[in-house]
Amino acid sequence: MTQSATSGASRREQAARRISMCAQALTAEHGFDGFTMEELAEAAGVSRRTLFNYFDSKLDAVLGPEPELGEEQTAEFRAGGPTGSLFEDLGYVAHDHFAQMPQERQQLATMRQVIRNPRIFAACHDRFEALAARALAIIREREADRYDEVRAKVALGVLVMLCDVALDRFIAGTDDRSFIEHYDEAQQAARSLFR
């Protein structure tokens, strides 16, 4: 992993990411049903027991650790910060979240390939729905009487689309910029549309 992906991560988070990377690589090479938890443990250099301390199932290992928002960042967002604009502030939250993701081109390409499996895609969708519900609850707290669910859902949807655009451009590898730099460029393009 790159320094940016690990600098703020605990040892536990780093180990979980390493196991998840191995699970994704095995899935890309052999298919989701083409390897066992024992083979995953061996590939990740951990015992089977240790593996289950990190993930309950092979599907969880492939998906990787659940994304979390930092308490400080969430508190600032709830309070209406950092800019006071819902879309801008969601953009800051997304930037910080994506900056914590792995930044290696091959790893993100593998992740994208693995997600094409219908079972993994469905699990990703379920995970996203749960994350979106938590985000909508936080937006509802922040916006109070001004809360507009359609507006909030559109803002979240735009951020997901920006991530997809950035991921496509980053994986294509036409320049040396990082994924987060591609994401910031896509976000800037979206901002220019709303001015």
Could you tell me the pLDDT band of residue 136, with boundaries at 50, 70 and 90? very high
Q: What is the pLDDT of residues 96-117, one digit of tens each?
A: 888 777 778 999 999 999 999 9
Model confidence band, residue 95 (pLDDT cutoffs 50, 70, 90): confident
The span from the first CA to the last CA of the chain, in angstroms, equals 37
Q: Token digits for 75?
A: 């508190």
Write down the pLDDT at residue 9: 60
- Of 131, 125, 124, 133, nearest to 59 (Cα)? 124
Q: Which domains does the chain have, with CATH numbers?
A: 1-65 (1.10.10.60), 68-195 (1.10.357.10)
What single-letter amino acid sits at 137? A
In this prediction the pTM is 0.81
Q: Is the peptide bond before 65 cis (omega within 30 degrees of 0)?
A: no
Q: Is the peptide bond before 82 cis (omega within 30 degrees of 0)?
A: yes
Angstrom CA distances, 84 to 24, 107, 120, stand at 39, 35, 36
Per residue in 4-14, pLDDT tens? 444 446 788 88
